[in-house]
Amino acid sequence: MLYFIARRVAAAGLMLVALSVLMFGLLRLTPGDPVSAYIDPAVPMSEADIAALRHRLGLDRSLPVQYLAWAEAAIHGDLGYSTQHERAPVRALIAERAGPTLLLMGSGLLLATIGGLLFGIISAVRANDWLDIILASLSALGISAPVFLVALIGLFVFAVRLGWAPAGGIATPGVPVTAGDVLAHLVLPAAVFAITQMTMTMRFVRGALLEALGQDYVRTARAKGVAELSVILKHALRNALLPVVTLVGANLGAAVGGAIFIESVFNWPGMGLLLVNAVEARDYPLIMGAALVIGAFVLIVNLLTDLLYAAIDPRIALR
Amino acid sequence: MNHQATWRETWQAHPLAQAAGRFAANPLAMAGLLLLLAMLLPVTCYPLLPGAAPNAIDLTALNAPPDAAHWLGTDGVGRDVLARVLQGGRISLIVASSAVCISMLIGFMVGAVAALGGSVANAVAMRVTDLAMTLPPVVLLLVLASVAGQGIAPTILVISLLSWPVLARLVRARLLELREREFVIAARGMGGGAWHIMLRHALPNCIDVLIVFATLQLAQAILAEAGLSFLGMGIPPPAASWGNMLNAARSTVVLEHYPWQWLSPGIALLLTELAINFVGDGLSAALNPRSELG
């Protein structure tokens, strides 16, 4: 088990290093000389001044040396400065935006897991019944529908036409922020997020539960006269639930993608919107910083779900 | 009397013919195929018609709702939405199918090199695919787009760079098994070179993996193009694409008052995705009949 943990942690660490090399490489692939970002076009500079600036910034050194200097700064939390936002440090911008994204994704994934479990159980219990067919058709629709289209339709129907929810943002501008106000702004984007993420869990729970319901111990429980609800919830579901743990980790990448679209439709001030705006403004330090932080987050959550799953089911670590 | 098999009998015994039979017997897959053809026909043919004018401006009808002159209404500068949906579908399909072709080429080559090229090649190829799969796809898409820039060619490049790792893994898994089979060992023993093994043995034996990947990846690539263009990268206006038409709905006025301008490309996109996914699931079930039993 210890060997398994050590191997997984080392692999994740290596991936993180590789990811940072990739990010740094892409950053240097970008068009334009990085030194030009430091020069005010209104102030003329001599060639010697530019060369001096280049030397001071370390741009005259070799790429591996530049990478090491960048990586050392990145480890200490210095991801450079944005070229917009009045040159704010990238770290401060990301720190400011991480909370709203975690709130949106956390509540959305919670809703999605609950909904996926509920509908998965219903469709497994009523397998091949009309209810199952309706749920299966809805999930096919859900898998095919682009997140941004669902978000636009949700915004159009519930915010514009029905007026049940505010039309975007995280809080009403101009008034002090209250928890209730944020919650009212959160409901619609979180619901859209949950709907688009729910289908996977639902299909998975249905398959796993159907398999468990066919097992001998379920037949034994039924033969003993255990009530049907108790058979489903206590005997079958418990065993079917194990793999659901890994599902959250495995789908996190897709979920992050969904959150980016939802944030930009609902103008939710999170990491996704930050990244999209940075790409629009070609703000490379911010793009790379945000992508690196998101990548590291996904790596760490995947590592944790792997370890958690191995802790629940020791057979995994032995493979 | 010696029975000479007719071409019809030979064909009927062919695995691909049997797969086609299973596909035809699957109602969802056939419905998907019909829907896809119903979408493809106008999208591919319309821009070739002499009257096609997706960029023509009708100043008497700005933001006009659907009527007899403009079946799906017009947009903010008086361009016909139906014409732009059809033109946009063409661009989306061109971008998506080119990207799928490129990513199939990369994916197959990397997978084949990993499986057939020895342990160092295997390790390098697999770590590279790991790395490409670490970042969430949309994030990678955005990062690549920020470096590659806007336009049709950069968008194709970005989308094809995104999707090859999945195929590389599938091909590698298939070929690792194939590598040990007698006919491949025999081909090697008779002096068959790497290209010979790859093209005459590896490729035909991956054909089912490639077909299913191509279909399902087409849906993903259309989605990726639409997503990029929706976020304002990808295909820039005035060229139409379903994504950049949906981008108009990021303005509250369009979202609120002119729903036909964004619902039309949205519904076209949704129907195409549904159709391709049904066809892809049908193909995957038809080519792997054993997977149905599991």
Distance of CA B179 to the CA centre of its chain: 29
Chain A contacts in chain B segment 225-254 (CB below 8 A): 226-227, 230-233, 246, 249-250, 252
Per the structure block, which two tokens stand in for A12?
């994740």
Q: Which of A153, A258, A287 sits opposite B143 (nearest CB)?
A: A287
3-state secondary structure of B74: strand
Under 8 Å between Cβ of B265 and B85:
yes
Of B131, B145, B252, the CB nearest to A22: B131
Q: What is the pLDDT of residue B293?
A: 39
Our CA-based measurement puts residue B108 at a distance from the nearest CA of chain A, in whole angstroms, of 23
Please report residues of A whose CB lies closer than 8 A to that of B278: 140
* Closest listed residue to residue B156, CA positions, set B108, B97, B106, B218: B97
Q: Of B138, B277, B136, whose CA–CA distance to A144 is shortest?
A: B277
Q: B178 near B205, Cβ under 8 Å?
A: yes
The nearest CA of chain B is from the CA of A106 a distance in Å of 17
Q: Which residues contact B69 (CB under 8 A, 6 or more apart)?
A: B58, B61
Alpha helices (H) along B198-258: 203-205, 207-230, 242-247, 252-257
Which value, in Å, is the radius of gyration of the alpha carbons in chain A? 25
Give dist(CA B110, CA B114) in Å, integer.
6
- Chain A interface includes B57 (CB < 8 A): no
- CA B133-B134-B138 angle, 5° bins: 75
A46 touches chain B (CB under 8 A): no
Mutation target to probe the A interface, by most A beta carbons within 10 A, among B138, B150, B222, B223 is: B138
Q: Say whether B80 sits in a helix, a strand or coil.
A: strand
The answer to whether the CB of B92 falls within 8 A of the CB of B153 is no
Q: Which two tokens stand for residue A266?
A: 């609902």
Partners of B250 on chain A (C-beta within 8 Å) are 264-265
DSSP assignment string, chain A:
-HHHHHHHHHHHHHHHHHHHHHHHHHHHHSSS-GGGGGS-TTS---HHHHHHHHHHHTTTS-HHHHHHHHHHHHHTT---B-SSGGG-BHHHHHHHHHHHHHHHHHHHHHHHHHHHHHHHHHHHHTTTSHHHHHHHHHHHHHHHS-HHHHHHHHIIIIIIIS--S-SSSSS-TTS---HHHHHHHHHHHHHHHHHHHHHHHHHHHHHHHHHHHTSHHHHHHHHTT--HHHIIIIIIIHHHHTTHHHHHHHTHHHHHHHHHHHHHHHT--SHHHHHHHHHHTT-HHHHHHHHHHHHHHHHHHHHHHHHHHHHH-THHHH-
Question: What is the SS3 assignment for A8-46?
Answer: HHHHHHHHHHHHHHHHHHHHHHCCCCHHHHHCCCCCCCC
Output DSSP code: residue B69: S
The per-residue pLDDT for A250 is 73
Which pLDDT does position B294 carry in this prediction? Answer: 33
Cα separation, A258 vs A252, whole angstroms: 10
pLDDT in tens, chain A (319 residues): 788 888 888 888 888 888 888 888 877 776 666 666 666 666 777 777 777 777 777 777 777 888 888 788 878 877 777 777 667 788 888 888 888 899 989 899 889 888 988 888 888 888 778 888 888 888 888 888 888 888 888 888 887 778 777 777 777 777 777 777 777 788 888 888 988 888 888 888 888 888 888 788 888 888 888 888 888 877 777 777 777 777 777 778 888 888 899 998 888 888 888 988 888 887 888 888 888 888 888 888 888 888 887 777 777 666 5
For residues A30 and A278, is the Cβ–Cβ distance under 8 A?
Answer: no
Exposed, middle or buried, A152 (CB in 10 Å: 0-12/13-18/19+)?
A: buried
How long, in residues, is chain B? Answer: 294
Q: Report helix, strand and coil shares of chain B as percent, to nearest 5.
A: 75, 0, 25
Q: Which of B152, B162, B164, B180 is nearest to B109 (CA)?
A: B164
Between CA B95 and CA B145 the distance in angstroms is 14
- Give yes or no for a contact between B247 and B230, defined as CB atoms under 8 angstroms apart: yes
Taking the C-alpha atoms of residue A194 and residue A115, their distance in angstroms, rounded to an integer, is 8
Residues in chain B predicted with pLDDT less than 50, given as ranges, are 1, 292-294
Q: B259 and chain A: CB distance < 8 Å anywhere?
A: yes
pLDDT at residue number A38: 64
Among B residues 142-181, those touching chain A with beta carbons less than 8 Å apart? 142-147, 149
Show which of residues 208-227 on chain A sit within 8 Å of chain B, judged by CB atoms.
Answer: none
Global pTM?
Answer: 0.83
Amino acid code (one letter) for B116: L
* Local structure of B90: helix, strand or coil: helix
The ipTM value here is 0.81
- Measure A16 CA to nearest chain B CA, in Å: 9
